[in-house]
Structure 1
Amino acid sequence: MEGVTIIETAVIKELINKIEGLETAIKQATKDAKVKDPTMTLREVAAYLKKSYGWVVINKHNIGCSNIGGDWLTKQSIVEEYFNKNFHKN
């Protein structure tokens, strides 16, 4: 037969706060782990910029692409940088 353990309310509340804090930290770590700089194909760049595939092929060197294993690839951050650099407000 097991005995009964009495825990003070303050101790339980402290444990609950630590568990909730751990839950928040885990959620943030998971969110941070998902944030990365995805690689994009030229077709994905065209869709992202709402331009034709042909336009992207012609401008791939201006945007910043690399030929890797026969495929032209870039990173989303490079495409965003290109967009922001060439965005004009009037």
Structure 2
Amino acid sequence: MKNEINKMQPITIIATEDWLALQQELAEMKQMIQTLLQGAEKKDIVHSLKQAAEIMNLSYTWIFSNKHKIGCSRVGKGWVIRQSSIENYINQSYHKDK
């Protein structure tokens, strides 16, 4: 009997109105977090051709020659490639071994 008493876990008694208020606060916080996550847009980072070559582990010359296949844009006098374009190119050219 003595061992059973020592094994019992302590409990906390909360008034019903306090419990309901806590549940309401948690529901509001959950809604706020969901709203924030929906508003958080993934930014599409823009890279130079040199940065793209480093990311893809390819030479700058190869990137420059194939910039239109990867998907790039001319900005001023330079060329830029979006992160999403690099990812799309990698995903399209990825070959799985069978």
TM exceeds 0.5?
yes
Alpha-carbon distance between aligned partners in 2 of 1:59 and 1:70, rounded to the nearest angstrom: 18
After superposition, the C-alpha distances for 1:38-82 in whole angstroms (9 at most, x for unaligned) are 212101211111112122112112212121111101211111111
Structure 1 residue ranges without an equivalent (≥5): 1-7
- Listed as ranges, the gaps of 5+ residues in structure 2 are 1-16
Quote the sequence identity (%). Answer: 30
Higher alpha-carbon Rg: 2
- What is aligned with 2:21? 12
TM-score normalized by the length of structure 1: 0.70
TM-score (norm 2): 0.65
- How many equivalent residue pairs? 82
**Farther off after superposition, 47-56 or 17-26:** 17-26
1:87 equivalent to 2:87? Answer no
Q: How far has the Cα of 1:11 moved from its partner?
A: 3.8
Partner SS for 1:67: strand
Q: Given the alignment of the two structures, is residue 57 of structure 1 paired with residue 64 of structure 2, yes or no?
A: yes
2:50 counterpart residue number = 43
Query: What is the CA–CA distance in structure 1 between the aligned matches of 2:63 and 2:71, rounded to whole Å?
Result: 10
* Residue 10 of structure 1: how far off its partner (Å): 3.5
Q: 1-side partners of 2:92 and 2:79: how far apart?
A: 21
Aligned equivalents of 1:80, 1:10: Cα separation in 2: 48
